[in-house]
Amino acid sequence: MIKSYYRKLFFATLALHMYSSASHSIRAQEKPSTVYAEKGYLTFDQKPLGSLDKPLVLRTFVPTGGVSHKDVLPNHSQGSTSPKYSAGSGKESTKEYEPIDGVPATIAVNLGKTLSYVWDTTECRLLYAWADGFLDMKNYWGDRKGGRRKGFGYVPKLYGFVFYKAQGIHPLQINGKSIAKLGAPKYLGYSLGKDRLPTYDFKADRHIVSLKIAPGPSTQTLRLDFTSTAKENLHFTSPNTQVEEIKKSPGRLSIVIRPNAGERISSEEQKVVIKKPTQEIGEKLYTTLGCIACHSLDGGKNHGPTLQGVYGAKREFLSAKSLTVDEAYLRESIEKPMAKTVKGYLTGMMPPYQLQEAEYDSLILFIKSVR
Ligand code: HEC
């Protein structure tokens, strides 16, 4: 009974949000699982993945991802604790339920291994983006075997590598004014383009804006295309975020945003604790954490300085005393890149990385080895 209820709920979610284009309308009388399986779509998978050709668009609760409630989620109520009720005794117990720690009514999109992001329909903004995984839906959809949802755990677990997080108030400015100042935005819905990537429509006061979110020109970048029907002047600004304007004209703004965060999150069964740091692990992390996107190993200049020969080299900074690169400096550069900015490079371009001790140490071993 419970099982069939959740199965229905699950497929209803899919029906509404995954295959919303007309050609994939659900034939209600058929058993959905067979319809999906025949078409090669996933069935009951708690860790679904889409692809660039077939993005997975899912309406769901998501973890807050540590974004600021005050600036990023001002229109979400935080909820409050509520007393637990015991069905057995018919009395309220002294225990209390904590409010659910997640963001409801978001749209999570997966474009395969390299890119996932969450768009929030309440704030009408991109909340965060990550690579190397998607959401573990077990809390929300229930277990494959038992088919049962876990108590009050509505919030799926994120796993992968978070490289972008919303910071500050709403980044979009219309005619020079942040839309955060125009009252709560109103979500109007999304549509799928020919390439099946979603475009989100929303209203801020009387302005009607559309935003298409697509993969950027290189890994860990995103392309955002804003359009507004009344041809206003659009501008995007966000603290600690590198924004490159590609196109700008009245009513149009196309930008590429680069990573501003670096945090690996795994659900329990994925978590790998590293016991002993090694150069080999460091070399792997250099790729999986995306350092490769900005640092070459062969002397070539990229967004960041090359890592070749950096250990022991002399460094000059924008506003700190020069020094000779040692382990402490390497560690600081990875954990708190804002602390010092190497001359000739941009402050705030490198995301801060929160890693296990052994991961920092492995990276340092690797960097020392690049001669
Ligand atoms: C989005 C681009 C970007 C990514 C990703 C990135 N960095 Fe950086 N990194 C930079 C920039 C730009 C600088 C120079 C500006 C500064 O000092 O903050 C820098 C500086 C550094 C420095 C100091 C280098 C020197 O010559 O003094 C180290 C070490 C470093 N990064 C390591 C890493 C490691 C390790 C990773 C991955 C875990 C990483 N970076 C990921 C852009 C990036």
Q: Please tell me the predicted confidence (pLDDT) of residue 2.
A: 41
User: In angstroms, rounded to a whole number, what is the distance separating the alpha carbons of residues 258 and 174?
Assistant: 22
Burial group, residue 328, by CB count within 10 angstroms (0-12, 13-18, 19+): exposed
Q: Please name the amino acid found at residue 73.
A: L
Ligand 1 centroid, distance to 343 Cα (angstroms): 12
Q: Which two tokens stand for residue 359?
A: 């991961």
Ligand 1 neighbourhood includes 292 CB (under 6 angstroms): no
Identify the residue whose C-alpha is closest to ligand 1 atom 25: 305
Q: Whose CA is nearest to atom 13 of ligand 1?
A: 304
Whole-number pLDDT of residue 347: 84
Residue type, 371: R
CA distance 222 to 58: 19
What pLDDT was estimated at residue 268? 53
> Which pLDDT belongs to residue 24?
37
User: Whose CA is closest to 370, among 312, 304, 288?
Assistant: 312
Query: Measuring CA to CA, how many Å separate 44 from each of 6, 14, 28, 237?
Result: 11, 11, 18, 40
Cα of 249 from ligand 1 centre, angstroms: 33
In the chain, which stretches have pLDDT less than 70? 1-45, 85-87, 92-94, 143-153, 267-271
Atom of ligand 1 nearest to the CA of 348: 18
Answer whether 342 contacts ligand 1 (Cβ < 6 A): yes
Ligand 1 centre distance from Cα of residue 304 (Å): 5
Burial 338-368 (b: 16+ CB within 10 A, else e): eebbbeebeeebbbbbbbeebbbbbbbbbbb
The closest-lying atom of ligand 1 relative to the alpha carbon of residue 163 is 5
Distance CA 231, CA 208 (A): 10
Say what the pLDDT of residue 188 is: 97
Ligand 1 center from residue 334 Cα (angstroms): 7
Task: Tell me the C-alpha to C-alpha distance, in Å, between residue 349 and each of 86, 244, 259, 313, 338.
Answer: 52, 12, 7, 22, 9
Say what the pLDDT of residue 258 is: 86
pLDDT at 205: 95
Is 334 near ligand 1, meaning CB less than 6 Å away?
Answer: yes
**Nearest residue to 226 (alpha-carbon basis) of 206, 207, 240:** 207
Select from 325, 256, 337, 324 the least CA-distant residue to 291.
337
* Ligand 1 contacts CB of residue 281 (under 6 A): no
Q: Is any ligand 1 atom within 6 A of the Cβ of residue 346?
A: yes
Other CB atoms within 10 A of residue 183 CB: 10
The answer to whether 162 touches 263, Cβ cutoff 8 Å, is yes
Nearest to 311 by CA among 294, 324, 302: 324
CA of 323 to the centre of ligand 1 (A): 16
The predicted-structure confidence for 66-83, as pLDDT tens digits, reads as follows 899 999 999 998 777 777
The answer to whether 238 and 180 have CB atoms below 8 angstroms apart is: no
**What's the chain's length in residues?**
371
- pLDDT, tens digit, 9 for 90 and up, residues 7-59: 444 443 443 344 333 333 333 344 444 555 455 554 456 778 888 888 999 99
Q: Is the CB of 291 under 6 A from ligand 1?
A: yes
Q: Is the CB of 331 under 6 A from ligand 1?
A: no
355 lines ligand 1 (CB under 6 A): no
Give the C-alpha separation, 234 to 214, whole Å.
18
For the Cβ of 177 lying below 6 angstroms from any atom of ligand 1, the answer is: no
Which residue's C-alpha comes closest to atom 39 of ligand 1? 291
Rounded CA gap, 57 and 35, in Å? 18
Q: What is the pLDDT of residue 3?
A: 42
pLDDT number for residue 351: 84
CB 314 within 8 A of CB 322: yes
